[in-house]
Chains A and B, each alone.
Chain A
Amino acid sequence: MEEYYLSCEDSLEGVFTGIYDAYLKKKPHEQIHICVGEEENYRLFAVYETCLPDAKKTASVARTIVREFGQEAYLSICRALASREMDKGEAVYKAVVAGFAMKNKKELMGNLSNPYIHRVFEMARFTANEAHYHVEFLRFKELENGILYAVIGPKNNVLTFIVPHFADRLPLENFVIHDEKRDIYAVHPAKKDWYLVCGDEETGRPERRCSDGERKYSELFSCFFHTIAIKERESYGLQRNMLPIRYREYMTEFQENEKYKK
């Protein structure tokens, strides 16, 4: 029995194209697998094919997913594909296959006893949780030129999930969010639509010197952060559970911490 491995780019486009090509093969789905990025364990008798991302195929798969399984499933799939987990392509592909066998296709994400759907659910939840943490803990600094500038280092690719929130809340601000792990920037010019820029394409990296106001307000906030805690209830363990350590290097109140520690 021949096994096919479709190797896709690590992106929504990549995996959707892979799914399209997998269906084109008209072979049993158990024989076809989607892998994202470099496949590490080459199997001797398997056929390896590379799928190049294709906008038309992507759009077609996206339309089908929304039409058949509804918006909820589509969103979960998008989130799962932003995951750092490498089995995401296979999980999404097989979840879609499983979905077509369901009586009520709109219930796709409710069918958690299917292992692939459960896997998609898990990865989507991880991405959504991490996006939420970033909405909470991301900090802007005001640069000399007035631009608000934030740096994040997420495990999953959450940037596109969080920018709309900030664009809605800060419509009159020029702001930039930089994912330093992937070297991508989200750029929001005041009163305009935001867009993504990759690190190497970027021209004129904004000067990272902070404004005078920045020092003032970051000190004020750090002061607030320290006085608002109730000494009699102090609990660093609880604080650590609620606010994982890995976020703190990006957070103003912890960067300023040293000055306020007695």
Chain B
Amino acid sequence: MENGLTVRKKEEMSIMEKLRILSDAAKYDVSCSSSGVGRRGDGTGIGNTLAAGICHSFGADGRCISLLKILFTNECIYDCKYCINRKSNDVPRASFTPDEICELTIQFYRRNYIEGLFLSSGILYSPTYTMELIYEAVYKLRTLHRFQGYIHVKAIPGADPELVRQMGLLADRMSVNLELPTAEGLKQLAPNKHRRNILWPMRQIQQGITQNKNEIMVYKHAPSFVPAGQSTQMIVGATPESDYQIMTVAENLYKKFDLKRVYYSAFVSVNVDKSLPALPEGPPLLREHRLYQADWLLRFYGFEAGELLSEKKPNFNVLLDPKADWALRHLEQFPVEINRADYRIILRVPGIGVKSAQRIVRARRNGNLGFDDLKKIGVVLKRALYFITCNGRMMYPTKLEENYIARNLIDRKEKLPFDRDGMTYRQLSLFDDAACQW
């Protein structure tokens, strides 16, 4: 496959050129989060981690840049139809050496450009061979350079399980991409991949994490295994699944595989292929955004996928966020009394986020709250007023009628790319005030 010429070319390629090619090839992976594990430095090397994660920059697309997100190599023996690196594409190819990856990580980290490394890879020769290369780079980083910052590594389906286990003892987070929401979708677009092979390492990592937790309870100093948990990603809009199907899959991943995060990636059409949709209007960003909002509702607001969507209503409302949409379909449960209602009920009110709900429950212990107090606390009254009372009174007399409220809740300013709640983009968005740790 390789003649002498391409081999020589590879040796001469500068680190700048490699970085350009291998970050360009890695950019379609959404995750850049550095959250999930808080670890102080031990004083002998470089690095620590913060449980909430840290973004270090925001690119021209407004996405958070937290980790040095690169591929080890963009060579690949597979031919997934949606992927820029597929075997059949004629694109410039490059591979890092483990030392180059260490150098870039350490030098970027010292300058506070990044929180750590997110290393993924195309498949060179075989999954196990590729995983070995990744392992070598991460091993050097952790031991030789005593790097204690964040490391996220892709587990490559089909790689030797023992390697995956070893890797998990060095990485903070691991992920296996589901790629497409259903097995049929996968068969259509990724002929070399199989659902079973993807779920298998996911299960292995899950079991590793559970087992490790037990070990740590017994021996405090047992090395930790994937302490920041595992995540995955689904491409949205390349195959015909509904939002309901996608949310059900996500819910299962959270419940049955204990995933920390599921990412949704609006399909970006990089290859011309008759089995792919054309998407003349660009990637389905609105849809992706609604999925993230709903994902938030599953993880932090106590909702279930079946409450938000159903077979009969399989897709999210384009005009309303899923929480407002749910509330409007359940007007019989409102208004709720702010000074008495249960925390879980308050969480379901549009315009009240997790932080505000916590503050309400705390502040009302010191006396009854009025609408002014709610405003100070950070409640968006413009949205909440239809759903709440303070001391038995609504903010002002208003019709409790679905269409009327809907018209008032539709946020005309909610335009692409939905920066207002920041859910999709800033990993700290759960805290309306960025940070409590400083």
Contacts and interface: CB of A to CB of B under 8 A. Distances in A.
Tell me if chain B binds chain A.
Answer: yes
Contacts, number: 200
Contacts of B223: none
B362 interface: yes
A252 interface: yes
Interface in A44-102: 79, 102
A110 B365 contact: yes
Contact of A132 (B68, B370, B435): B435
A151 interface: no
A171 B41 contact: yes
A41 interface: no
B369 interface: yes
Given A161-B438, A229-B63, A238-B425, A168 B107 contact: no
A172 B195 CA distance: 46
B308 to A, nearest CB: 25
Nearest to A167: B41
A1 interface: no
Nearest to B14: A220
Contact of A107 (B19, B282, B366, B369): B366
A221 B369 contact: no
B373 A113 contact: yes
Interface in B231-280: 266, 268-269
B45 A125 contact: no
A111 B416 CA distance: 38
B376 A113 contact: yes
Interface stretch (B50-58, B197-205, B206-214, B400-408): B50-58
Given A132-B438, A162-B438, A112 B41 contact: no
Contact of B113 (A127, A135, A213, A221): A221
A169 B48 contact: yes
Contact of B111 (A140, A162, A234, A239): A140
Given A112-B373, A228-B59, A242-B58, A141 B366 contact: no
B108 A221 contact: yes
A169 B106 CA distance: 12
Interface string A130-168: 011101111111100000101000000010011001101
15 contacts: A110-B363, A112-B363, A125-B433, A129-B434, A136-B55, A139-B111, A139-B112, A148-B110, A165-B438, A223-B19, A228-B24, A229-B59, A231-B61, A232-B269, A237-B419
Interface of A: 79, 102, 104, 107, 110-113, 118, 125, 127-129, 131-133, 135-142, 148, 150, 158, 161-162, 165-166, 168-173, 191, 213, 217-221, 223-239, 241-243, 251-253
